[in-house]
Amino acid sequence: MKRLLVPAAIVVALAFLPQLSLDIPYVFQDGVNTPGTLELLALCLLFGGLALSYDLLFGFTGLLSFGHALYFAVGVYVAAIAMTRWHWDFWVSAAFTALVGFLLAIVLGAVSLRVAGIAFAMVTLAFAQAGSILALKNPYKWTGGEEGFGVDYHQLPAWTVGILNTKHLYWIALAYAAFVFVVVRWAVNSSPGHVWQAIRENELRVQVLGLKPYTYKLMSYVLASVLATAGGIVYLLLLGGANIDVTTASFTLTLLLMVVIGGTGSRWGAMIGGILYTFANHRLGDLSSSHAVSSLPSVIRTPLQQPLFILGVLFILVVFFVPGGLTRIGQVGVRLDRILRRPAVQEERA
């Protein structure tokens, strides 16, 4: 219990943020309690939680999935369709969406876990791509195709609608992040959780010990997917609509960037990675249109207009020089030393 004290204190502190009329220049454009800033913070927290759900697969179980976006998109699209096209109540839609995410994860997980390693990555990518194509093709005019569609706000709980209620959305996102944190913490420390980490380290050894890695990997896959679906519902509340971007392969890749930049296989790493990435992605966009940047020569200015360029380069640098992610940056010195002293020929252990 004692070790939960720090996270709990952070959550309480963050929960009071909307009540403060704080102004942090350069970091935020407006005061902390303005709707714009709260919305950005809510997105950061949401993606922090989502990145952690992805890290459950990648960092803790060693499954490199390129299809995590699919389950997030299920959360966004199924809930939005249920409310807007079928006029269901929000809570009914949310429960239905979670069920869809759960069942889909079991079916697709069971198929894709038949292959391992890189083939698994490609298969999950293919399934996610199928979802993306489906959303793009706009069957029965449900998904709105390329433009997506806005959710029928009559079905949403009244206290989440409108700009004045942004702080409620912020609290929802905070609750989601805290929920994912607690679930992942509990799951990783449970006995299947230990098996997951053993699979990550050495799958063959787990098999030799008489355990079936397949079942455990499926458990991890389903749990991570359901958490992502829940994240999709939160995203729908925050943005008030579904858009095609959340279905794409690039979306999963950005999750991968978040987790690796922050640090894989550590709860704080993935979460901080998600928060930092989302924050940088939004603020770098603002920055590129600011006066300070527009006076730079075009060679420097042009790349700065695309946050993804900067984040992609940062990601490569992290992979090369800070393999544990930014939260383990203390070990960089050791790492650089090792790179510089490395012998020229180094083959893998075959």
- Of residues 225 through 264, those in contact with another protein by CB under 8 A are 249-250, 253-254, 256-257, 260
237 vs 261, beta carbon nearer another protein: 261
By CB under 8 A, residue 349 contacts another protein = yes
| Nearest distance, CB of residue 153 and another protein, angstroms | 30
The span from the CA of 32 to the CA of 41, in Å, is 9
The reply to whether 197 sits near another protein by the rule CB under 8 A is no
The nearest distance, CB 350 to another protein, in angstroms, is 3
Which of 64, 161, 182, 326 contacts another protein by CB under 8 A? 64
Structure token pair of residue 316: 């490569």
Query: Which residue in 203, 200, 241, 188 sits closest to 53, CA to CA?
Result: 188
> The tokens of 296 are what?
């730079």
Told to check if 91 binds another protein by CB under 8 A, we report no
Helices (H), 20-165: 35-55, 68-84, 90-112, 117-137
Q: How many residues does the chain have?
A: 350
- How remote is the C-alpha of 339 from its chain's centroid? 31
Instruction: State how far the Cα of 77 lies from the Cα of 71, in Å rounded to an integer.
Output: 10
Assigned token pair, 26: 């350069």
**Cβ of residue 265: shortest distance to another protein, in angstroms?**
12
Contact residue for another protein among 189, 191, 289, 346 (CB under 8 A): 346
What lies within 8 Å, CB to CB, of 263 at 6+ separation is: 269, 270, 272, 273, 324, 325, 326, 327, 328
Q: Which of 86, 159, 186, 309 contacts another protein by CB under 8 A?
A: 309
205 lies in the site for another protein, by CB under 8 A: no
Contact with another protein (CB under 8 A) among 101, 315, 324, 325:
315
Residues in contact with another protein by the rule CB under 8 A:
64, 111-112, 114-115, 117-119, 121-123, 125-127, 129-130, 133-134, 136-137, 249-250, 253-254, 256-257, 260, 302-303, 305-309, 311-313, 315-316, 319-320, 323, 339, 346-350
